[in-house]
Amino acid sequence: QVQLVESGGGLVQAGGSLRLTCAASGRTFSNYAMGWFRQAPGKEREFVAGVNWSGSNTASADSAKGRFTISRDNARNTVYLQMNSLSPEDTAVYYCAASRSSTAASVNLGGMKYWGKGTLVTVSS
């Protein structure tokens, strides 16, 4: 069992940066690939970025490439999402999730086993 708690969301101006943190409990954290997803008001939840069990391989959505970076620290049971050059289109609730597998390729909406409750990111224009 893995419990996930996100933090770091808030209000930021367009062009600004935020770093989201996902703290995981459970001794098997390093077994799982991890991912960040987001859901904007009135829209479907979507994939943002994923990282494999060791942190050596990542994947990201086109909307995140060049602006968002996912990383993990297995010693701290933590996953991060560094978000730069934010725009109002990035406004959403951001969720951390643990995959059923260990590869970055396994990080997708249907492949996640555990979910956090989310943290709200609001980008003002």
pLDDT (tens digit per residue) in 32-67: 999 999 999 999 999 999 999 999 999 999 999 999
**C-alpha distances in Å from residue 46, one per residue of 28, 56, 107:** 25, 23, 11
Indicate whether 82 pLDDT > 90.
Answer: yes
Whole-angstrom Cα distance, residue 77 to residue 24? 5
Indicate the residue type of 26: G
Candidates 104, 26, 31, 110; CA nearest to 71 is 104
Whole-angstrom Cα distance, residue 26 to residue 11? 30
pLDDT level of residue 26 (50, 70, 90 thresholds): confident
Question: What's the chain's average pLDDT?
Answer: 96
